[in-house]
Amino acid sequence: MYIPPGYLPVSRIVLSPGGKVMAFVDVASSGYLTHVRVSDVVTGQLITTVTDRRGVDGAALSSGGKMLATLDVNGSTDLRNTATGQLIATLADPRGAGGESGQTAAFSPDGKILAVADAGGDISLLDVASRRLAGSFTYPGTGSIAGIAFSPDGKTLAIFDDNNHTYLTTVPTGAEIAALTDPYRSGGAVAVAFSADGRTLATFDYGHLYLWNTATRHLITTWTSPGIRVLAFSADGKTLTAVCGNGHARQWKLS
């Protein structure tokens, strides 16, 4: 995994399901001007650059990195062709005027649904084909949502907050399945990833990396690591890769 040093510093790093493409949202250089650079994970080759003068608050990549979603500070979501950067559609805030800005998003594994979470705890499920709201719910926690991730079968959404919890909820109803509490209570998870078979969930808080058994909700193991921004399992589930805020990548071999 290669990250060009010129892409740093960044406010967000997102990885496509399958781990082939990464998007880097830079720190706004002037006002709300933001650049989103999309690159090939292995070679680091630049695929496209998107410039947004409204300020990008979050981003997501579909499976294989074919579609890029960017969330601006006003709550609108742009859908783009990743290869060309061409705008496909702009989706207005599904909650209407006055809603919280979109902070984070995730595509379902089949790319048909884009889940958008705002700072107020609302989750909107957007149908990518029709550009319409397919469902919505409020997450069961009390903190601010830091990120979301779909399980490989698309039936579960992991929602991690800044209050030391990761919630597993059903899709599309949002019913709570389980709440996982960070053992060290270090300020809440900042990255999360499911293994390809959905049996293991990796979460990272400020300094600790946890592996959870999704069936039993039991903690499997804990490691210490600084500054992780993105987590990804290999397709065979034997390797866990973490990308840190400084652009360095670390890997763990899993038994």
Which CATH number belongs to the domain containing residue 91 in this structure? 2.130.10.10
pLDDT recorded at residue 15: 84
Our count of domains for the chain comes to 1
Both ends of the chain: CA-CA distance in Å?
Answer: 21
Q: Which residue has the higher pLDDT, 102 or 159?
A: 159
pLDDT by residue (tens digit) across 142-157?
A: 888 888 999 999 999 9
Of 53-67, 192-206, 240-254, the range with the lowest mean pLDDT is 240-254
Q: Which residue has the higher pLDDT, 219 or 72?
A: 219
Residues 124-163: b if buried by 16+ CB within 10 A, e if exposed: bbbebeeeeebebbebbbeebbbbbbbbeebebbbbbbbb
Report which residue type is found at 230: V
Q: Which residue has the higher pLDDT, 25 or 212?
A: 212
pLDDT recorded at residue 96: 57
Cα distances (angstroms) measured from residue 72 to each of 34, 41, 51, 56? 10, 24, 11, 4
119: containing domain = 5-253
Integer Cα distance of 84 and 87 in angstroms: 9
Mean pLDDT of all residues in 83-105: 75
Q: Which residue has the higher pLDDT, 9 or 36?
A: 36
pLDDT recorded at residue 41: 80
Of 32-36, 57-61, 134-138, the range with the lowest mean pLDDT is 32-36
* Residue 98 pLDDT class (50, 70, 90 cuts): very low
Of 81-90, 106-115, 222-231, the range with the lowest mean pLDDT is 222-231
Which helix H or strand E contains 239, and what residues bound it?
strand 239-244
Mean pLDDT of all residues in 50-77: 87
In the block, tokens 């949002």 appear at 174
- pLDDT reading at 234 higher than 50: yes
